[in-house]
Amino acid sequence: MLKWKVLHVKYGHEIKVEQQLGRFGIVNYLPKIKIIRQWSDRKKVIITPAFPGYIFINSDNTLRNKVFYAKGVLKYVRSDNKDATLENDEIEMIRIAESSISEPQILNNHLEKGDQVEIIEGPLSGYTGELIEFMGKKRIVLFIKKIAIGFFVEIPVNHLRLI
């Protein structure tokens, strides 16, 4: 079974790289989130990469150098002098988190910034993260330790347990 690898790409080129890799026949995954941009005269919902500057690929070593034909690919993310890899269940966790992002939930006051929490209900049950305050709303940051990338996901307070 192939493992997922992480590519570092130029900031702002993630979607173009995703399309080019697809044309090359390389299975890839670019998690995306919706954000609201505020201008002086309007608000607009924009779809943007969840991990700016990174894209995940699922290929064997025969296609290792082919990824560099995609304009914007900088390098493979490496750990311990080899390509950093992710298991399918770790990619699945990102997919679940990506699809579970909804309207902001208000968390109650028994949890504080910096608390380590475990998700005890819902599709991300069993995962842990650190509670942070971001733009006035409390959210969970889940870290993928192998590649040291964190991402935001909103979780209702009744789905969390302080650890």
Q: What domains lie within the chain, and their CATH numbers?
A: 4-86 (3.30.70.940), 105-162 (2.30.30.30)
Strands (E), 17-134: 27-29, 32-38, 43-49, 54-58, 73-76, 78-79, 82-83, 85-86, 116-119, 128-134
Give the residue carrying structure tokens 């990619």: 91
Q: Would you state the pLDDT for residue 107?
A: 36
User: Model's pTM, two decimal places?
Assistant: 0.65
Find the mean pLDDT for residues 95-118. Answer: 64
Helix spans in 24-121 (H): 88-100
**β-pair partners for 68:** none
Q: Which pLDDT tens digit goes with each residue over 61-91? A: 888 999 999 999 999 999 889 999 998 988 9
Q: What is the band of 160 on the pLDDT scale with cuts at 50, 70, 90?
A: confident
Checking if the pLDDT of 9 tops 90, the result is yes
Cα dihedral 45/47/51/56 (nearest 10): 170
Find the mean pLDDT for residues 108-119. Answer: 69
Give the residue carrying structure tokens 């304009």: 71
Checking if the pLDDT of 55 tops 70, the result is yes
